Amino acid sequence: MTVPFDCPRCGTVLTMADRAGVEIDYCSTCRGVWLDRGELDKIIERAKAAPAPPVSAWTTPNASGRQPEGGHQRGHGGRGDHVRRKSWLREMFD
């Protein structure tokens, strides 16, 4: 068992959490994240091993260099409510 320590930035006691097999210490006040020795290496290795997201038709121009017929607006009614998928790394720190 490790003893909790204070955030070097704001002095709040850091909270420990296990995220995807990596133990992190984070500050609930300033949202700083501190990693112990070797934990950054684990995160980097997992990022390399994670499959690349599939390429969608919306981001790939067709042979003429234009976006697919219907344009960007057809995907969500032109309301701008498109939701970007979070990466596993971003989800790890949410």
Q: State the average pLDDT over residues 70-75.
A: 52
Q: Which architecture does CATH list for 1-50?
A: Single Sheet (2.20)
CA distance 46 to 88: 9
Mean pLDDT on 74-83: 57
Is pLDDT of 11 > 80? Answer: yes
| Coil/strand/helix, residue 45 | helix
Per residue in 23-40, pLDDT tens? 889 999 999 998 889 999
Phi-psi category of residue 19: left, alpha or beta, with phi > 0 → left and psi -120 to 50 → alpha: beta
**Amino acid in the structure at residue 51:** P
Counting residues of the chain whose pLDDT is more than 70, the rounded percentage is 57
